[in-house]
Amino acid sequence: MFRPRVIPVLLLKGKGLVKTEKYKKANYIGDPINAVKIFNELETDELVFLDINATKENRTISIDLVREIGDEAYMPFAVGGGIRDLDTAIKLVNTGAEKLVFNSAFYDSPELITKVAETIGNQSVVISIDVRKNAWGKLAFYTRSGTYNTKMDPLDVAKKAEELGAGEIILNDIVKESTMLGYNTELIKKISESVNIPVVASCGAGTLDHMKIAVDNGAHAVAAGSMFVYHGPRRAVLINYPTKEELIELFNKG
């Protein structure tokens, strides 16, 4: 039966796990390794770890932490944050990461994307397209944790990502992050129809039905943050994940 991947996105600030709101207000959640252990027990499909300060601090996501994650995780996982050269990319994959997520480096050094794809395989190269409306209400691609407006159209960015050799796109609407009110389905549909590589919908999920809607609009997989680390209206920290039976029922209902 049909079931797309459902992926928790975990944000790192150094070696601590945090959750942001619209890419701001980083609230401490806990220890990432403890989170991995819980997601192991919940039989999670896949994980994504993003170091939100790595690029701004001119460093890369901690290779030691990635090694710890790799030693503990039963599921495939992707990592991102400050990856700016081929040697680092190779080290991270050798340390245990199955996929590498690029955002700022994709814009600043597009040739790196092709080098990494040719060296370790395009299935391991993921472009994170962070989108926000500019002052004129037009969607634009942002880098550096959502602080720099490249003035590029997200549709052109997606096409370029595919041309450079990326094997997957994570699509993020910055203003929807942590709102738990649903994805930007119009954007998901537009981007999914423009490329032949998988598009992972991210930012905004608050219910399983939101995920079903995203898939119905073209997403190949769905990702979320708040939905998997918070519980209840007061947003108490509680790592959670739906059962396989719930997901099969969700994605196969009319």
Query: Residue 193's pLDDT is what?
Result: 98
Delimit the domains of the chain by residue range.
5-251
CATH assignment of 5-251?
3.20.20.70
The catalytic residues are 130
Q: How far is 254 from 249, CA to CA, in rounded Å?
A: 10
Q: Specify the pairing of strand 125-133 against strand 139-143.
A: antiparallel
Query: Residue 235's pLDDT is what?
Result: 87
What letters, b where the CB count within 10 A reaches 16 and e where it falls short, cover 198-236?
A: bbbbbbbbbebebbbbbbebbbbbbbbbbbbbbeeeeee
Query: Residue 1's pLDDT is what?
Result: 66
Per-residue pLDDT of the chain (254 residues; tens, 9 = 90+): 679 999 999 999 988 999 999 999 899 999 999 999 999 999 999 999 999 999 999 999 999 999 999 999 999 999 999 999 999 999 999 999 999 999 999 999 999 999 999 999 999 999 999 999 877 889 999 999 999 999 999 999 999 999 999 999 999 999 999 999 999 999 999 999 999 999 999 999 999 999 999 999 999 999 999 999 998 888 899 999 999 999 999 999 86
Query: Residue 232's pLDDT is what?
Result: 80
Of 72, 53, 55, the closest CA to residue 12 belongs to: 53
Token readout for 104 is 């700022």
Query: Residue 90's pLDDT is what?
Result: 98
Q: How far is 59 from 243, CA to CA, in rounded Å?
A: 37
Q: What does the CA dihedral 117, 143, 186, 78 come to, rounded to 10 degrees?
A: 40
Query: Residue 60's pLDDT is what?
Result: 97
Q: What does the CA dihedral 50, 23, 214, 79 come to, rounded to 10 degrees?
A: -10
Secondary structure of 175-206 in HEC code, one letter for each residue:
HHCCCCCCCCHHHHHHHHCCCCCCEEEECCCC
